[in-house]
Chains A and B, each alone.
Chain A
Amino acid sequence: MSGHTHGLLVQASSAAARFDALMLTLTLITGAMALVLAALIFFFSIRYRKGSKADRSNPPSGAKGLEAAWTLAPLVIFIAIFAWAAVDYMRLYDPPAGAMPVFVVAKQWMWKVEYPNGRREIDELHVPLGKPVKLVMTSQDVIHSFFVPAFRVKQDVVPGRYTSLWFKATRAGTYHLFCAEYCGTGHSAMRGRVIVMPADAFAHWLQQGNTGSGIAAQGFALFRKYGCSGCHSAGSTVHAPDLTGLLGRTVHLQDGRTLVADEGYIRDSIMLPRKDVVAGYAPIMPSYQGQISEEDVLALIEYIRQTGADHDDRQPR
C-alpha cells in the first residue's frame, strides 16, 4: 500500500486529475514569477554593484505607470486562478444525484464506516471503481478530518453536524486514509485504508459477512422505538409533517426560508427541532439531543431515504 508510484502521488479519483492540472499551472505561473524576480535581483545586484561602471544617470524613485502595471497584471492573473479553483471547489461540493451514500462516524481514534445495507467496517473504506460515492460524516467527540491524498479530497468531520464529501474513484488499488485535523494523542495513528475495487467485486464484497438487516430496516425499528411514528405516521392524529420521500424535497419554513432537505437538515430536526420549523406546523416536537446516538440518527435518515425510494417505485414515471 502506498498510493505512490515512483515517488509521485497517484491520481486515483476524478478530482485528482483536475487538481493536478491546476496545481501544475499555478506552479508554472508562480515559478515563472519567482524566477523573473530572482533574475532581476541578481542582474541588478551584479550590474549595479558598488564601483561598477554601469550608467546611473537619472535614477528613478517611482513610476506611476509601472506601479499600475504591476498592480493590475497580478490582479488579472490572480482572479483567473481564483475562478478556476472556485469552479473545481464547487464541483467538490456538488455530488451527482446517484452517488452511493456511505456513513462515516469518527471518534478518537478510529473511523467507523457503515454502508446502507448495514455492512460495517473500521479504519477501512471499500468503494467501487468508477461509481460516485458520497460520504455523510459526523464525529462523536472532537473535530477530525477525512483525507485521502490519492483522491485530493479532504473534509473536516465535525461533532454536532454532518459534513459530506464525494468522489469517484478512477483507479483500483489501496490508498492512505489520514486524519488531517489534530485530534489528540492518537492523531497520527488515526490512519486507515481506502480500497478501490471493480464494481462487481465491490458488490460481492458488500454482501459478504453481512448478517444485519440493513440500516433502513434498523431505522424503521428505531422510528417506532423513539416514538417518531406516533406523530409522523400517516394515521396519526397529531399534526406533524409527513416524512415520506423527504430527502431532496424543497421545504418551506415558518420564517419564510426554504431549503432542500438533506441529511443535515433531518439531523438538525431531530436534535434541534426549533431551528427549522416547517410552515404550517406548531413547534411541538421535543429535542432528542443527548438521547440518541449518531448511529441511530443515521439509521433514521436511511429509513426516511428508503421511504422516498419506495414512494418512487410506486409511482413509475
Chain B
Amino acid sequence: MTTASPAEAPPAAGAPREPENYFNRDFSLKSWLTTHDHKRIALLYMVAILVFFFIGGVAATIIRLELVTPAGDLVSDDTYDKLFTAHGVIMVWMFLIPSIPSVLGNFLMPMMIGARDLAFPRLNLASWYVFVAGGIFTLLALVLGGVDTGWTFYTPFSTMFSNTNVILVLLGVFIVGFSSIMTGLNFIVTVHTMRAPGLTWFRLPLFVWANYATSIILVLATPVLAMTLVLVGLERLLQVGIFDPALGGDPLLFQHLFWFYSHPAVYIMVLPSMGVVSEIIPCFARKRVFGYRFMTYAILGIAVVGFLVWGHHMFVSGQSVYAGLVFSLLSFLVAIPSAIKVFNWTATLYKGSITFSAPMLYALGFVGLFTIGGLTGLFLASLALDVHLTDTYFVVAHFHYIMVGGAVMAYMGGIHFWWPKITGRMYPEIWGRVAAVLIFVGFNLTFFPQFLLGYEGMPRRYHTYPPQFQTLNILSSAGASILALGYLLPLCYLGWSLFRGERAGPNPWHATGLEWQTPSPPPKDNFEETPVVTEGPYGYTPEIAIGIVR
C-alpha cells in the first residue's frame, strides 16, 4: 500500500520533546472521559477489559486451587458455583467479546482504511460508557452475593430454582450487549462509507474484513440474547410460563435461543483473532498472505454458517434426532473455512524471510492452539462422540483452546504488534518472547490434561470429584500457575516500556498497512493528508527484512 504522505523520520531515542499526538495532547481526566477520538476510546476499553480480565482470572485461580484435591476443601459448593459463573460471565462478556474489536479494532479500523475516525465518534464513546456501566453493574452483582447459574443461565434452574441475584446479572449482561451492538454498527458503517480513495473491498486488510464480519454477527445475534435474557427475567419475576414446564413452558426453547446467540459469539471472539494473525504472519514472513481472496471468503463463510450450527450444543438435550443430524453436518461444514485459513497461514510462510519477534511467536502459537481447538471441535460435532464427551472436561478444554489459546493469544500478539503504534515505544523484545513462550507452555499444561479428564468422564462444573481424576487435575492446576505468570509478566514490562521503552518510530516492523504510514503515536486525526491506495494489502518482499533486526 502506498500513501501520499510519507511519515516523518522518528525523533532520536531520548529526544526531549515528542510532537503532539493523540496521547500527549491533553492529559486531563476530563479530556479522556469526554474524548471522541477512536484511539483514546480504544485505550479506555483496554484499561476496562484488563481490569475485568484479572478479576475473571482470580475466579479461575480459586477454581483451579479447589480442584487440586477431590474433596471440596477450599470453598463451599455454593461459592464454587458462584466462582465458575463469575469466571464465565466476566471472561465472555466483559473480556473476550469486546477484546479485539473494541480495543484493537477501535484503534486500527479507521487507520487501516485511511479514515480520521469511526463514522459515529459519539456513539463510540457512548458504547464505552454503556459497557462500563453494564460491566460494573454485573460485577457488583457477582461479587456482592453472586450468581450460581453458570454463564449459560439454563432454565428452569435460572428462572425458578436459583436463589441468587440472577436478575441483576441478566440486566448487566443485557446492558453490555448494547455496547456490542453500538460498536458493530459503527464498524459496519465506517467500512462501507469511509474507505480511502482507491481502497476497494478486495484491497482491505484481512483484519478489517474480520472485524467487519464480526460486526455483522454482533448486530444480528446480540438482540436475540437480549430478548432471551428479558424472557428469563420475566419468568423469574412474574412467573410467565415460557421456559418452565411447570408453568407450561419449554426449557429447551431457552437453549435454542441462548445458543443462537452464543454459538455465533464464539466466532465473535475468534474471527477478529484470525484478523490479527493475518496481519502479523505476512509482516514477519515478509510475504503476501497466501490466498487473500479465499481468506476473505472463509471469513464470510464462517460468519454465515456460524449462525446455523447452534443445535450442536444440544445433541443429548432431548432435541429431535433429525435436528441433531442436520446440526452435526453443518458443524462439520463450518470447520472447512477454518481449515482453509490455517492452511493459508502455513503456506504464507513458504518462501518467506521469517523473523520470530514476540508478535510472530504469539501468532504461530495461535495457529497451533486454534488448530487443536478446531480439530477437537470435530469430536464434539460427531454425534455419537458428543454423547459421551459433552458436558465433560473435554468440552471445557476444547473451548478454552479456541477462546484462550485462540482469542487471547491473538489479542496478546496484536497488543505487542501494535504497541509501538499505540504508545510510540518498543516493548523489551526478550521479555516479550519469554512471556509468549510461558503462556504457550502454561496454556497447554493447563488445558491438555482436561481433554483426557473429559474422555475419562469427569463432568464439568464439579466441585468435588472421584479420586481417580486427581492426577490430571493437579497437572492442570500446575499449568495454570505458569499461565498466570505468563499473563502477569507483560503487565510489568509493557508498563515499564511506556516510560522507558525505546522510541519506535512510525514503522518499526516495516509493515505495509496504512496505520504504519503515520507517526507513532498517531496525531489526533491519524493522517495529515488522506492517503490514496493503489494496490492490495501485504505488499511485502523479503529484501526489506534486512531492515528489521530485533
Chain A: residues with CB nearer than 8 A to chain B? 2-4, 9, 15, 18-19, 22-23, 26, 30, 33-34, 37-38, 40-41, 44-45, 48-51, 54-63, 66-67, 70-71, 74-75, 78-79, 81-82, 84-93, 108, 141-143, 145, 147, 149-150, 152-156, 158-161, 163, 176, 178-189, 191, 289-290
Contact = CB atoms under 8 A, between A and B. Distances in A.
A19 to B, nearest CB: 6
Contact of A160 (B246, B325, B342): B246
24 contacts: A19-B384, A34-B371, A34-B372, A37-B371, A56-B542, A59-B287, A78-B333, A81-B332, A89-B315, A142-B154, A143-B317, A150-B457, A155-B316, A155-B387, A158-B245, A159-B251, A180-B460, A182-B154, A182-B461, A184-B148, A185-B78, A185-B81, A191-B466, A290-B246
Contact of B294 (A37, A62, A142): A62
B456 A154 contact: no
Contacts of A183: 157
B291 A63 contact: yes
Contacts of A150: 457
Contact of A45 (B325, B349, B372): B349
B382 A85 contact: yes
A179 B392 CA distance: 10
Contacts of A60: 290, 347, 350-351
Given A44-B349, A149-B388, A158 B317 contact: yes
Most buried by B among A41, A82, A153, A182: A182
Contacts of B355: 49-50
The 8 closest A-B pairs by CB, nearest first: A160-B245, A149-B457, A89-B383, A88-B384, A85-B382, A44-B349, A188-B462, A30-B375
B503 interface: no
A133 B466 CA distance: 26
A45 B457 contact: no
Contacts, number: 261
A48 B285 contact: yes
Task: Name the interface size band of chain B.
Answer: 35 or more
B245 A41 contact: no
Interface in B232-259: 244-246, 248, 250-252
Interface of B: 72, 77-78, 81, 148, 150, 154, 156-157, 161-162, 244-246, 248, 250-252, 285-294, 315-318, 321, 324-325, 328-329, 332-333, 335-336, 339-340, 342-344, 346-347, 349-356, 364, 367-368, 371-372, 375-376, 378-379, 381-388, 390-392, 455-457, 459-466, 468, 542, 545
Contact of B292 (A54, A61, A63): A61
Contact of A48 (B156, B290, B353): B353
Contacts of B288: 59, 61
Contacts of A289: 248
A163 B318 contact: yes
Contacts of A143: 154, 156-157, 251, 317
A146 B49 CA distance: 38
B381 A82 contact: yes
A147 B459 contact: yes
A183 B352 CA distance: 53
Contacts of A18: 384
Contact of A44 (B293, B350, B382, B542): B350
Contacts of A59: 287-288, 350-352, 542
A92 B336 CA distance: 28
A37 B218 CA distance: 32
A189 B464 CA distance: 7
